[in-house]
């Protein structure tokens, strides 16, 4: 069996000072990549900063014979994102892999959520996805090669009490992927989104104690490294995972129903009378872009 290697590749992992991101950084380096270990060293709610988080992971990689450099910028500003990418280019000459992983939580039920709690979470996850990915993809386009991962969450895909800010940010990343994959389609840049589940400081008070071993963050790493490898050709997909389970999640549309003739007014009663057909998902389909929805309207538009 041919081993998947990353020799000659340069990877950026944001929020790699601990938790799931640390696992990516260690294994990428073990398999030959040079790694930029980005971490602001923030607390779970995003407060504070501590350079030792990134430093420790770099020390671990270097002690094991790998190559890594630390970066302490916040992903939440364009200046930070540009400097993270600059660290990779200045130290190793390019960027081949970007794993957008940094994250914080400010959980609160929607009706109690403050503007600050909203902005902070959107800033790190959603804006952070923009701020690091834009300068990284600029370099990837020049080299006609790139692998980008966005980190979403089942909280965004399906919902989770107290996480409207987090869920919105995470689904926003799916929105970035859906369009960015079209904009870079002519380059060998593959962009995918993952929804991990793991025991970390983010989840340790949510899961029962026996999950600490079973939900080890390590289980997310092989899937993400595969998606970041040269062998991977998948692009624009969402993969959920945890504890050794891996599966694809997708946004799909049902066949729906064409009413009228694109001329006459459709009544509310017609919607009511066809609501079961409109809601039916038996022939669900995915679409490569928003244009896919025109397939359904075909009979009305021709
Ligand atoms: P973690 O809290 O252990 O690690 C997140 C890291 O991001 C921390 O080291 C923190 O210092 C860093 N960070 C925070 N704000 C930053 C900023 N502005 N700039 C740079 N670094 C920053 O969390 P965990 O569990 O490892 O999560 C990793 C990613 O996976 C996050 O995006 C999280 O939302 C996502 N996720 C995790 C799940 C889980 O079950 N643990 C579930 C779903 C998604």
Residue bearing the CA closest to ligand 1, atom 31? 103
pLDDT at site 112:
98
Cα distances (angstroms) measured from residue 87 to each of 56, 230, 278 = 18, 23, 51
Contact 220, 20 (CB under 8 A): yes
Quick one: which atom of ligand 1 is closest to the CA of 18? Answer: 9
pLDDT at site 174:
98
Q: CA 156 to CA 167: how far, in whole Å? A: 4
- Residue 5 placed within a domain: no
pLDDT at site 178:
98
- Residue 50 placed within a domain: yes
Residues 223 and 287 in one domain: no
Q: CA 127 to CA 120: how far, in whole Å? A: 10
Distance 295 CA to ligand 1 centre (A): 39
Whether 166 is catalytic: yes
- Residue 259 placed within a domain: yes
Domain end (from 249, 267, 285): 249
Range of the domain at 106: 10-249
CATH classification at residue 294: 1.10.287
pLDDT at site 206:
86
For the chain, list residues with pLDDT below 70. none
Q: CA 36 to CA 18: how far, in whole Å? A: 14
Quick one: which atom of ligand 1 is closest to the CA of 22? Answer: 26
pLDDT at site 257:
97
- Residue 244 placed within a domain: yes
Residues 122 and 233 in one domain: yes
pLDDT at site 204:
86
Q: CA 168 to CA 152: how far, in whole Å? A: 10
Residues 55 and 181 in one domain: yes
CB burial of 206-225 (b: ≥16 within 10 Å; e: otherwise) equals eeeeebeeebbbebbbebbb
Residues 140 and 263 in one domain: no
Q: CA 71 to CA 85: how far, in whole Å? A: 10
Distance 79 CA to ligand 1 centre (A): 20
- Residue 2 placed within a domain: no
Residues 188 and 256 in one domain: no
Distance 62 CA to ligand 1 centre (A): 23
Residues 221 and 275 in one domain: no
Residues 33 and 169 in one domain: yes
Residues 172 and 257 in one domain: no
The answer for residues whose C-beta is within 8 angstroms of residue 216's C-beta and 6 or more apart is 198, 199, 243
Ligand 1 binding pocket, CB closer than 6 Å: 14-15, 17-21, 38-42, 44, 46, 53, 74-76, 101-104, 124, 151, 153, 196-198, 200-203, 217
Q: What is the chain's alpha carbon radius of gyration, rounded to the nearest angstrom?
A: 21
* Catalytic one of 166, 226, 246, 296: 166
Distance 45 CA to ligand 1 centre (A): 10
Q: Answer yes or no: is the ipTM higher than 0.85.
A: yes
What are the residue ranges of helices labelled H in the chain? 19-30, 52-63, 78-92, 115-121, 128-143, 154-157, 164-183, 211-214, 221-227, 268-273, 275-279, 294-301
Q: How many domains does the chain have?
A: 2
- Residue 152 placed within a domain: yes
Residues 195 and 258 in one domain: no
Distance 27 CA to ligand 1 centre (A): 17
Quick one: which atom of ligand 1 is closest to the CA of 105? Answer: 34
Residue bearing the CA closest to ligand 1, atom 1? 19
């Amino acid at each position: 069996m041919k081993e998947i290697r990353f020799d000659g590749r340069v990877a950026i992992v944001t929020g790699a000072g601990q938790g799931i991101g640390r696992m990516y950084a260690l294994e990428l380096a073990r398999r030959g990549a040079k790694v930029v270990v980005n971490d602001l060293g923030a607390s779970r709610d995003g407060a504070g900063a501590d350079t030792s988080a990134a430093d420790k992971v770099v020390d671990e990689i270097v002690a094991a014979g790998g190559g890594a450099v630390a970066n302490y910028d916040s992903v939440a500003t364009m200046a930070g994102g540009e400097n993270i990418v600059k660290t990779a280019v200045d130290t190793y000459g390019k960027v081949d892999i970007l794993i957008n992983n940094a994250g914080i939580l400010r959980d609160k039920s929607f009706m109690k959520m403050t503007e600050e709690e909203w902005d902070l979470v959107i800033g790190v996850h959603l804006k952070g996805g923009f701020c690091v990915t834009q300068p990284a993809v600029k370099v990837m386009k020049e080299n006609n090669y790139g692998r980008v991962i966005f980190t979403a969450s089942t909280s965004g895909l399906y919902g989770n009490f107290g996480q409207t800010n987090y869920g919105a940010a995470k689904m926003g990343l799916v929105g970035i992927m859906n369009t960015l994959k079209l904009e870079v389609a002519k380059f060998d840049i593959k962009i995918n989104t993952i929804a991990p589940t793991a025991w970390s400081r983010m989840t340790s008070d949510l899961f029962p104690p026996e999950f600490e071993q079973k939900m080890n963050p390590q289980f997310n790493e092989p899937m993400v490294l595969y998606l970041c490898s040269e062998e991977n050709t998948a692009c624009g997909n969402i993969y959920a995972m945890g504890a050794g389970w891996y599966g694809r999640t997708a946004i799909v549309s049902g066949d729906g129903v064409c009413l009228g003739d694109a001329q006459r007014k459709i009544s509310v009663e017609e919607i009511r009378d066809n609501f079961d057909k409109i809601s039916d998902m038996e022939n669900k389909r995915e679409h490569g872009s928003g244009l896919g929805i025109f397939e359904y309207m075909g009979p009305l538009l021709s």
